[in-house]
Each structure stands twice: as structure tokens, then as C-alpha cells.
């Protein structure tokens, strides 16, 4: 009964609150011309507040009930809420907009967080799915219990004939017997129905004590896949370095050795030819040195090792084909491997913009909020990009997956294209780097 009442209250109470608030607003304005303009916001505010309260409380109560039955804790993770920031002008930044009053900024941020948070979305879906689950899963056993009790208790006021015998004792006996059997069967089915209701709640709300083993299995599979991707990427990188050394610097060094051998033989007979060969060897050595520097830069750029990710991204913007503007808000440095993965991901995205996007401007935003590094690359090109198997974006996804990172793509036809990369990371120093640059 408690489950049924909770499911019904989650739908009925918000609707009743909205209607009452609207009627109260109409009464306060004495049914005047302003009454509808006051009734609608009042109904939305009252109904929305009650709905949000039941979304959170209803899901919380369901989790507590499932925890008591399973004897295990149900871990719930909500997305972090960014702290409000005040700029030099006194405006409060919510993450998407500025507001002069802190209360308004907090309200906008709270609504935006509640709408975008996946766990709150699941809780809202549970508010709608719970009444359906109650009717489907608990309706039959509850109908049997109440129907059996009513059938037994109304035997004295209802004339019933069993086996062709019209006898009050026989009617009372069989009514109580049939009603009792129905009630007992309903009570016997009720625990299974309640467990099925809890399992359905776990599926809708996500997680749950019953799925802890499945979650661990999924996590192990994910780590195994990312480890395999990291090993494949490392092997491919080693093959690339070996190929570049063999085809580039190594071949030039062999050529220099042969040229110096020829110079040694010509020194006594033809010094002019020997000097020409020395000049060629010097030019070849300069090219070999440049190739080695390019190879080292492709493995780990010196600017990334010396000055960190902000300056490395700015260098990419300065050398990009498409004019690129960079904004960085990074209060410290992360681990070197993560910085390298982000650097080469941004480099590949800028190269893709130059090749495919037909864009006139690109923006790169590097932000750190609530323990997560977020990099957003936006261009004003033609759009229509897709996450295709074997494509560059899938390669970036695998590279970031090694660090539990994610990549999302928003690229409608006609543009703009926005690619967001997020990685959990810890920064090593409290130094703050907040700046912007254009390339």
C-alpha cells in the first residue's frame, strides 16, 4: 500500500499543487485581466517545485527500500555542480550565462544542472514509470488480496448459490474459503512482485545493489578494452618511429658516411671536389638533425614538456591553417601522459578542421572544473561530421578512453561543429593560468 500511495502521490500532488496555486492567484487578482498572467507562472512554479521534490524524494525512498531488502548500499553518483564565479564586473557566471544577482545565477544553474544531469533524468523517468510498474507488477496480487477479502466479508449480505445448494452456512463457508484462498495466493505472490518492482527500479534508476557484480564485470571489460587499445596505439607509435628513423635520419646518416669516405679519398687528388662533397655532407647533416627534431617533437613536443598544455595548445593555434583562438583556464598541470594525449587530440582536430570543415575560424577552450579537464574545439565550418568506425574521431576516443575520458560530437549540417573532450584528472600545483590567445 505504501508503494502504491507513493507512486500515486508523485503524479497527483504536483498536479494538485499547480491547480491550487493557479486558483489562488486568480482569487487574489479577483478574476481580473491580470489573473491569467499571474495564474500561469504560479502554477508552473508550484507544480514544478512539487514535481522536483517528488522526483528526488521518490527515487530516494525507492533506493532505501531496495537497500533494506538487499542488505547492500546503493551508490548514487550525480554530476558535479560547478561553483558560481564572479568576474571583475561583479557578474556571476553560471557556466553558460552571466547574471548580476547571485540568487538568479544560482537558480539558473540549478535548473540547468537538474535538466542535464543523467541521474536526475533517470529519477524523472522513474516518477512516470513507477505508477505503470505498480499497476503491472503489483496490480494482480493486490487485486487478489483485496478481492478475496471483500468476497469473504460480503458473504452475509449477498445471496450466493454453490453446487446448486441455497444454504446460508454453505454459502458462508465457501465464500470464506474462496476469498481466503485468493487472499493467501495474493499474499504469496506479493514478495515476488515487490522484488520485481525493485529490479525494475534498478533498471530505470541505474545501478542498484543487485547489479554490483554486473557493474564490476562491465568495468573490467572496459579496462581490458582500453588497455588493449593503449597497447595497440603504443605498438603503432613504435612502428612509426622505426619507419621514420629508417627512411629519414638513418638513410641520411648512411649517406653522410659514404660522402665522408669519398672525401677522404679525394683530399689528396681533387680538393675542390672534396670541398663540394663536404658541403653536401654538411647540408645532409643539417637535414638529418631537423628530421630528428621533428621526430622528437612528434613523440613529445618540447614546449609541452617545458611549459605545459596551455602553451602547447597556443603553439598549435599559431601554426594552424585556419585562424584559431585559444582560451585557457587551467590552475596547474596534470600528468604528462594525459597532457600528451590531449595535445595530440587537439592537434588532430585542428588538422581535420583544415582538411574537411571549410571553416573560417576555430575556437579552442581548455577548462578545469570539479576535477575534470574539458577541452572544447569549435569551428564555423559546414558541419556534418560523424563518429565513423575507423575514423580519426574514433581514434581520439580510444586515446582518451585510456584515461577514462570521453568525446562528444555536435555537428549539424551547415555547422557549427563542436567537439567536447572530458577527462578526469588531478592537477599538481595551485598555479593559475587564465588567458586567451589568437592564432
Q: What is the pLDDT along the chain (439 residues), one digit of tens a residue?
A: 677 777 777 778 888 888 888 888 777 777 777 777 777 888 888 887 887 787 877 877 888 887 777 766 777 777 777 777 777 778 888 777 778 888 888 888 888 878 888 888 888 888 888 888 888 888 888 888 888 888 888 877 766 666 666 667 777 777 888 888 888 898 888 888 888 888 888 888 876 664 455 556 666 666 666 666 656 666 666 666 666 666 666 777 777 777 777 777 777 777 777 777 778 777 877 777 776 666 665 556 777 778 888 888 888 888 888 899 998 888 888 888 888 888 888 888 888 888 888 888 999 999 888 788 889 999 998 888 888 776 778 888 888 887 888 888 888 888 888 999 988 887 775 444 444 455 5
Question: Whole-prediction pTM value?
Answer: 0.43
> Which pLDDT belongs to residue 246?
63
Q: What is the pLDDT of residue 247?
A: 67
Give the orientation angle of helix 336-352 with respect to helix 309-319, to 10 degrees.
20
| pLDDT at position 92 | 81
* pLDDT in the model for residue 377: 92
238: preceding bond cis by omega (within 30 degrees): no
Q: What's the pLDDT score for residue 295?
A: 60
Interior angle at CA 103, CA 99 and CA 106, nearest 5: 80
CA atoms within 13 A on the CB side of 141: 19
Cα separation, 107 vs 45, in Å, equals 12
Label residue 355 exposed, middle or buried (CB < 10 Å: 0-12, 13-18, 19+). Answer: exposed
Give Cβ neighbours of residue 252 (< 8 Å, ≥ 6 apart): 284, 285, 287, 288, 291
Using CA atoms, how far residue 301 sits from 290, 294, 375, 424, 428, in Å, is 14, 9, 19, 23, 20
Q: First CA to last CA across the chain, in angstroms? A: 66
Amino acid at each position: 500500500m505504501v508503494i502504491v500511495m507513493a507512486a500515486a502521490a508523485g503524479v497527483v500532488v504536483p498536479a494538485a499543487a499547480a491547480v491550487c496555486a493557479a486558483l489562488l492567484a486568480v482569487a487574489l487578482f479577483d478574476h481580473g485581466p491580470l489573473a491569467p498572467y499571474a495564474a500561469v507562472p504560479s502554477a508552473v512554479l508550484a507544480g514544478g517545485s512539487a514535481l522536483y521534490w517528488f522526483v528526488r524524494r521518490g527515487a530516494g525512498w525507492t533506493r532505501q527500500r531496495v537497500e533494506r531488502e538487499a542488505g547492500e548500499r546503493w551508490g548514487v553518483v550525480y554530476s558535479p555542480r560547478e561553483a558560481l564565479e564572479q568576474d571583475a564586473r561583479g557578474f556571476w557566471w553560471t557556466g553558460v550565462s552571466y547574471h548580476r544577482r547571485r540568487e538568479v545565477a544560482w537558480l539558473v544553474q540549478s535548473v540547468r544542472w537538474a535538466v542535464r544531469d543523467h541521474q536526475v533524468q533517470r529519477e524523472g523517468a522513474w516518477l512516470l514509470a513507477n505508477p505503470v510498474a505498480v499497476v503491472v507488477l503489483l496490480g494482480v496480487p493486490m487485486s487478489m488480496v483485496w478481492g478475496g477479502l471483500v468476497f469473504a466479508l460480503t458473504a452475509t449480505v449477498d445471496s450466493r448459490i454453490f453446487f446448486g445448494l441455497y444454504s446460508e452456512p454453505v454459502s458462508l463457508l465457501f465464500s470464506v474459503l474462496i476469498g481466503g484462498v485468493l487472499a493467501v495466493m495474493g499474499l504469496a505472490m506479493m514478495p515476488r512482485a515487490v522484488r520485481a518492482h525493485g529490479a525494475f527500479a534498478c533498471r530505470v534508476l541505474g545501478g542498484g545493489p543487485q547489479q554490483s557484480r554486473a557493474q564490476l564485470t562491465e568495468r573490467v571489460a572496459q579496462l581490458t578494452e582500453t588497455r588493449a587499445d593503449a597497447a595497440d596505439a603504443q605498438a603503432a607509435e613504435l612502428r612509426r618511429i622505426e619507419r621514420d628513423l629508417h627512411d629519414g635520419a638513418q638513410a641520411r646518416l648512411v649517406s653522410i658516411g659514404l660522402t665522408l669516405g669519398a672525401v677522404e679519398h679525394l683530399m689528396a687528388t681533387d680538393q675542390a671536389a672534396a670541398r663540394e662533397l663536404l658541403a653536401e655532407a654538411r647540408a645532409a647533416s643539417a637535414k638529418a638533425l631537423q628530421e630528428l627534431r621533428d621526430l622528437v617533437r612528434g613523440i613529445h613536443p618540447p614546449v609541452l614538456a617545458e611549459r605545459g598544455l596551455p602553451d602547447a595548445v597556443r603553439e598549435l593555434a599559431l601554426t594552424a591553417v585556419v585562424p584559431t583562438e585559444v582560451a585557457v583556464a587551467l590552475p596547474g598541470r596534470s600528468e604528462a601522459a594525459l597532457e600528451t594525449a590531449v595535445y595530440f587530440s587537439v592537434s588532430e582536430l585542428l588538422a581535420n578542421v583544415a582538411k574537411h570543415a571549410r571553416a573560417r575560424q576555430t575556437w579552442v577552450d581548455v577548462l578545469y572544473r570539479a576535477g575534470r579537464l574539458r577541452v572544447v574545439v569549435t569551428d564555423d565550418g559546414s558541419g556534418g561530421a560523424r563518429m565513423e568506425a575507423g575514423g580519426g574521431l574514433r581514434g581520439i576516443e580510444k586515446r582518451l578512453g585510456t584515461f577514462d575520458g570521453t568525446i562528444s560530437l555536435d555537428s549539424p549540417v551547415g555547422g557549427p561543429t563542436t567537439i567536447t573532450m572530458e577527462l578526469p584528472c588531478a592537477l599538481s600545483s595551485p598555479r593559475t593560468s587564465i588567458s586567451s590567445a589568437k592564432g
